[in-house]
Amino acid sequence: MHQPLKAGGRPVVVRSEIVGLAHSDHEVVEFRAAPVWRSVRTSSTIRCGVEWKGGRAHEYETA
């Protein structure tokens, strides 16, 4: 997950492609259920965890 945007939310990136914008942990869970993320989980070379970039984990607004 990239750092929070000034307007709020964090871009969700899967395989270097932005697939949406999350405003809560619940929305991240919904993205993880999406077909694009399932295809990532089937790959033996790609981890399916969440990587937080910039800002604190689980925060979706800028300070």
Model-level pTM? Answer: 0.69
Location of structure tokens 């399932």: 38
At 6, list the tokens.
Answer: 């000034």
| Tens of pLDDT, residues 8-50 | 999 988 777 788 899 999 998 887 777 766 655 555 545 556 7
pLDDT (0 to 100) of residue 20: 86
Distance of CA 27 to the CA centre of its chain: 9
Residue 58's contacts (CB-CB under 8 Å, 6 or more residues apart) are 25, 52
Q: Would you say residue 54 has pLDDT above 90?
A: no
